[in-house]
Amino acid sequence: MKITIIGSGAMGCLFGGLLAEAGADVHLLDIWEEHVQALNTYGVSISSSGEERHIPVQASTDPKKIQQTDLALIFVKHAQTAKAAQTATSLLGKHGALLTLQNGMGNAEILTEAAGKDRVICGTTAQGAMILGPGRIQHSGTGKTVIGMWEGKEHCLLHEVAAILSNASLDTSTTEDIRPVLWSKLFANVGINAITALTNIRNGELLDLPETRELVNSAVQEALEVASAYDISVSPDALEQVFNIARATAPNRSSMGQDIDAGRVTEIEAINGYILDLAEKSGISVPINKALTALVKTLQSHYE
């Protein structure tokens, strides 16, 4: 199976590097020229547990150099999903599929519009990574990856993809209903990302102050109310799971925090903004998520 990683930042490099190390036919695609040059020259450098290893990879800024692929693994930010979908569909073979492990919601709908519902696989991952520089990443957390069809019939590659990822030390399982899994990840992003980005703290510090704990609680409770209005099945201990994730990833800077630090456009629209959008459509008040969305957008306005 030929795999193309579209969006080879921290997570794209982590998955691409581990897949390459396991012997998979994988190609990395990204628009950052200095990064791509470093990947081709030195391989991807993955730092973990005090050790650093270099894994040879193939990378490019030009999708035309990659040609036909069987699986396009999407790791771009939400704002770039539509463009990534166009690139992916131009590369896919007749029986190819798209897999998104992006943060937030709304990406699957964009990919489905471009490729058709029977070719879109969605998932979440508890793996974590941070960019250290061109061609260099920190593997900052490990955990399970879960994938499943967004809404179409089961794709012939679904279980093969899970097996290939698992073989690359990316423990992956499949599920018949991916939506509750996606929403569970969304609750964590809703409760952690914007607050840590705005307050310039790490995930674990959310638990240290009653004020930030209350903000997490309120943001997630609002999201739970929205999920209930849309008949989304959620775990009864969803809020506690969010606190557990913050605890388990205590030293980490959230992806949204990293984006703010680097002056990049965040995924606020696909996280708290997604909750706000659904809430407004159903007449539900979500003042905390509305405020968090507005504040992050205000920060972004200074560097967009």
Residues 6+ apart with CB under 8 A from 159: 174
Q: Are strands 92-100 and 51-55 parallel, antiparallel or unpaired?
A: unpaired
- The burial class, CB within 10 Å (0-12 / 13-18 / 19+), for 302 is exposed
- Asked if the model's pLDDT at residue 261 lies above 70, the reply is yes
Task: Choose, from 185, 281, 290, 297, the residue flagged as catalytic.
Answer: 185
Smallest Cα–Cα separation from 254: which of 187, 204, 214, 197? 197
Residue 67 has pLDDT above 90, yes or no: no
User: Which helix (H) or strand (E) element contains residue 297?
Assistant: helix 287-300
Q: Are 9 and 131 in contact (CB under 8 A)?
A: yes
Which residues are paired to 8 by β-bridges? none
pLDDT band at 303 (very low <50, low <70, confident <90, very high): confident
Dihedral over Cα of 239, 243, 245, 246: its sign: positive
Clarify whether 185 is annotated catalytic. Answer: yes
Q: What is the mean pLDDT of residues 276-288?
A: 98
Full set of structural domains in the chain with CATH:
2-176 (3.40.50.720), 180-300 (1.10.1040.10)
- Starting at the earlier edge strand, list the strands of the sheet with 120-125: 58-60, 25-29, 2-6, 69-74, 92-100, 120-125, 145-149, 172-174
Mean of the pLDDT values across residues 223-251?
94
Q: Are 148 and 181 within 8 A, CB to CB?
A: yes
CA angle 109, 277, 107 (to 5 degrees): 20
Q: Region 22-51: what's the mean pLDDT?
A: 97
CA distances from 296 to 166, 179, 276, 299 (A): 36, 26, 13, 5
pLDDT in tens, 176-206: 999 999 999 999 999 999 999 999 999 999 9
- CA-CA distances (angstroms) from residue 156 to 115, 140, 153? 15, 32, 9
Give the mean model confidence (pLDDT) for residues 275-295: 98
How many whole angstroms separate alpha carbon 80 and alpha carbon 203? 26
**Mean of pLDDT values over 236-243:** 96
139 backbone dihedrals φ, ψ, rounded to 5°: -85, 100
Rounded distance, CA 201 to CA 212, Å?
A: 10
Instruction: Please compute the mean of the pLDDT values over residues 29-40 and round it to a whole number.
Output: 98
Q: How far apart are CA 171 and CA 99, in angstroms?
A: 16
**What pLDDT is attached to residue 141?**
87
Spatial CA neighbour of 52 closest among 165, 135, 144: 135
Residue 107: the pLDDT is: 97
The two tokens of residue 96 are 């190819």
pLDDT value of position 304: 52
Angle 272-282/287-300 helices, nearest 10 degrees? 130
Q: Across residues 136-149, what is the average pLDDT?
A: 95
pLDDT in tens, 55-66: 999 999 999 999
pLDDT tens digits for range 150-182: 987 888 999 999 999 999 999 999 999 999 999
Mean per-residue pLDDT, 223-233: 96
